[in-house]
Amino acid sequence: MKQIEKIATAANFTAVSVGKLSELSDYVLELGPDVKIPGKVFGGAALGATGAEFSFQMFQPGTETGFLHTHKTHEELYFFLSGRGEFQVDGQVFPVGEGSVVRVAPDGRRSVRNNGTEPLVMLCVQYRGGTFTPDDAADGDILAEPVKW
């Protein structure tokens, strides 16, 4: 089974690689002895992330999540990187494809399927909902020092 590769790490960062997105099918997420999800990999732990989780997932043509799910407190952002498919939230079904982004609140009953002819690749970012405030939009500081490569 494929593993995430650590690229670099220091006190204030960690960098990893999941590899080529076209090879996501080499990953298998094992949720239990009888529950294995091909083409999915979580990366938050490998990065040491403290405020969010992320996963990449590849759905082969004709495949789907296979279940609806919700979260207790986590909102999710789904970024579709390639392919075409359908997304369902609370019974509403709509098309997604490269460039689509979907936000789902914790209580949203969600699922994804690939009804296209090419692999559907997505990045999902999961974080605690209701925590971002207008003050957070101004959290960044531009430093008065040159960038040196």
pLDDT in tens, the chain (149 residues): 789 999 999 999 999 999 999 999 999 998 888 888 899 999 999 999 999 999 999 999 999 998 999 999 999 999 999 999 999 999 999 999 999 999 999 999 999 999 999 999 999 999 999 898 888 888 899 999 999 99
Q: What pLDDT sits at residue 100? A: 98
Structural contact between residues 80 and 39, judged by C-beta atoms closer than 8 angstroms: no
Q: Fill in the DSSP letter of residue 64.
A: B
Please state which of the four CATH numbers 2.40.110.20, 3.40.50.300, 2.60.120.10, 3.40.640.10 is assigned to the domain occupying 34-130.
2.60.120.10
Give the other-Cβ count within 10 Å of 59's Cβ.
24
Please name every residue paired with 53 in a beta bridge, in sequence order, or none if there are none: 126
Q: What pLDDT sits at residue 133? A: 87
Domain positions in the chain: 34-130
Q: What pLDDT sits at residue 138? A: 87
Main-chain dihedrals φ then ψ at residue 45, nearest 5 degrees: -65, -40
CB-based contacts of 77, cutoff 8 Å, min separation 6: 101, 102, 103, 124, 125
